Amino acid sequence: MPKNKLGRLLEKLEHLKASVRAKVEHPFHVIKNLFRHRKTRYRGLAENTAQLFTLFGFANLVPAGRRFTITESRRAS
């Protein structure tokens, strides 16, 4: 990237895109690897949608659970 004003602006833009991408890709990583949901079986649109909503909800709770586990272990010791 050039070291002028346009280069700095492009670098900030790329940093912003990377941070958004990291926040969006984390739940997919949790669902595919932690919950082992790699194949989608057709069970009807309502059931598939309900299952994915549930899995994404749990994926959002995984980092929160880890954070609470760390704070609880600090108090216990």
* 4-55 per-position pLDDT tens digit: 899 899 999 999 999 988 888 878 888 887 777 766 666 777 888 888 888 8
Of 48 and 77, which is predicted with more confidence? 48
| pTM score | 0.47
Contacts of 7 (CB under 8 A, 6+ apart): 1
pLDDT over threshold 80, residue 73: no
